[in-house]
């Protein structure tokens, strides 16, 4: 799979669309100002559903934490709507607290609002360390389908084979009680 500079790709007219996240909205605005009012975002197209995957980080307190009360106060602070809004402004990571989306700054931003719509149809990414490898394989096989190099059915068969190879080591570790995860993949 080839990855390119999407800002340059849009500016040069090399491609008309990409699947990406909210972090690119402000980048496109600042790196390609000549495209103002010539681009937008939209939720994923759908046939049966609009599902996509969303990952993220969890806020946790380790059982062995020496200061669990302070850690809890930090989690409470990070979970406040105003803090979520400020974090969004700094990172472009989407707010996890639903009430934050009521803020006019988010509601009135059409490009960002499309991501809110998409969030209504997300599935969590699998909780496995190999997820990024699997995601790359999905992209590689999907690209072959898009360019009519293989059929969708062939891509699914090949993807299944590749993912099985990626997860083979995990299965072996689990079967030999070398991982503590109760899940088998």
32-72 pLDDT, tens digit per residue, is: 999 999 999 999 887 788 888 776 667 889 999 999 999 99
CB 158 within 8 A of CB 151: no
Predicted TM-score of the model (pTM): 0.71
Nearest to 140 by CA among 124, 121, 163, 122: 163
Q: Higher model confidence: residue 35 or residue 4?
A: 35
Nearest to 10 by CA among 28, 30, 37: 28
Mark residue 165 as left, alpha or beta (left: phi above 0; alpha: psi -120 to 50; beta: remaining): alpha
Mean model confidence pLDDT for the chain: 88
How far is it, in rounded angstroms, from Cα 134 to Cα 138?
6
* Per-residue pLDDT, 84: 96
Question: Over 80: is that where the pLDDT of 182 sits?
Answer: no
pLDDT band, very low/low/confident/very high, at 184 (cuts 50, 70, 90): very low
How far is it, in rounded angstroms, from Cα 86 to Cα 17?
29
How far is it, in rounded angstroms, from Cα 165 to Cα 97?
37
How far is it, in rounded angstroms, from Cα 45 to Cα 42?
8
Question: Over 50: is that where the pLDDT of 129 sits?
Answer: yes
65-101 pLDDT, tens digit per residue, is: 999 999 999 999 999 999 999 999 998 889 989 999 9
CB 75 within 8 A of CB 61: yes
Average pLDDT over residues 109-124: 90
Counting residues of the chain whose pLDDT is more than 70, the rounded percentage is 93
How far is it, in rounded angstroms, from Cα 6 to Cα 32?
10
């Amino acid at each position: 799979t080839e990855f390119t500079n999407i800002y340059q790709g849009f500016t040069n007219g090399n491609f008309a669309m990409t699947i990406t996240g909210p972090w690119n909205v402000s980048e496109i605005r600042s790196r390609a100002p000549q495209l103002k009012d010539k681009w937008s975002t939209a939720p994923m197209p759908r046939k049966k559903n609009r599902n996509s995957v969303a990952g993220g980080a969890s806020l946790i307190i380790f059982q062995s934490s020496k200061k669990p009360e302070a850690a809890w106060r930090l989690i409470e602070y990070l979970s406040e709507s105003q803090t979520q809004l400020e974090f969004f402004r700094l990172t472009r990571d989407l707010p996890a607290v639903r009430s934050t989306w009521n803020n006019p700054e988010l509601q009135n931003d059409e490009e960002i609002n499309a991501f809110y719509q998409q969030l209504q149809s997300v599935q969590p990414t699998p909780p496995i360390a190999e997820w990024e490898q699997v995601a790359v394989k999905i992209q590689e096989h999907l690209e072959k389908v898009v360019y009519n190099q293989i059929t969708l059915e062939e891509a699914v068969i090949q993807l299944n084979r590749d993912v099985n190879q990626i997860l083979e080591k995990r299965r072996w570790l689990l079967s030999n009680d070398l991982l503590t995860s109760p899940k088998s993949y």
